[in-house]
Structure 1
Amino acid sequence: MSRLPHPHTVPANACDVTPEGAAWLASAETYPQGLLTGWRARPTAPAVLSCGTVFDVVSVPAVFGRRMVDRLWHDGPGSGPVATHRGRMLLFAAPGTARRLPSLLAWEEWGSAVPSLLCHGAGDAVTVPPLAAGPGPDDRLGSRWLVAPDSRHPWLPGADVVLWACVRAAREAGGSAVRISIFPPRDQGAKVYDVSRRR
């Protein structure tokens, strides 16, 4: 029978989840001990976890997600846990991000270089990679951890940080052809009055 590593051991692979990280992931479920027991029996099997209380997940196409993660680590505060599954990158974010991010994205002026982002929050669930890398059913799904959870309380970016990474990734993808503003678009039909001479 496979077991979770001892709480004080370092994982063999940097992309393996630590016992503290596994406990954090399991805390998203109503019965975390049942999930941990299942993982002990099958550490190379993916799991489905609930979003909205412990974390939200922003799912983006893999290439764009890679640009976002690069920006977060090279120019920003870093990222929370990050995984890949079925050709998409899953960025774990603070609870509430899934609710706020779509309105922040709608407010921006996007070019055609920005893909659609799927935001998973309260009432949603996502499939996460196994705790440990190795042969298993996840191989054909391209499911693995890029930044594995390694603590009981990992730092999670909020909607503002994820938006910042989106803007930087879109600029990088589109070069100078994509104009991204932090201001909403002007109303082209609005009347403009010169009030500088009024007394």
Structure 2
Amino acid sequence: MSDAAAEQARTRAFFAARAAGWDAKFPDDGPRYAEAIGELGLRGGEFVVDAGCGTGRALPLLRAAVGPDGTVLGVDLTPEMIDLARAHAADAALLVADCGRLPLPDATVDLVFGAGLISHLPGPAAGLRELARVTRPGGRLALYHPIGRTALAARHGRPITPDDLRAEPNLRPLLTTTGWHLTSYTDTDTRYLATATRT
């Protein structure tokens, strides 16, 4: 088994074991998701992929933002998460798939929304390149978490490390080399949101 495949298996097992209690563990995140998605400037008719959609908390918000003429696709590696996402799906399509190998044509997506995604990609550069492949030129990427890096590290009982991919000095060049241009970056106790445009 390759390193990437082993990492995927670990990720799938981690989330499979926690899927049933995931939403109950973070019951207050909904308004934060709504605020962040409201700021992304989505328009009716757009095609959005929720990459690593988990239990689907963002799906109804994304669906409302793109309207009845838009398309929302929730993708997650963990079947147990996708099963739970069906309750939130709000007419979104759901797919068990690897975000590093999406069964989508080139340059079709208007926005990729990734909540907590980047730290779970077994090969972040390859994963971001794949997200760039499916996104149209000028399309966007939103990397989100309902709390910032410092608060998240404290939640897990560890310090922030200098090699954290989500840190702006690390994220900007990573995005640049994978087909993206970082356009905004916010990292506070109550939000992490980095947005980029497909170059």
**Higher RCO (Cα < 8 Å, 6 or more apart):** 1
TM-score (norm 1): 0.22
Higher percent of residues as helix: 2
Structure with the higher fraction of residues in strand conformation: 2
Larger CA Rg, structure 1 vs 2: 1
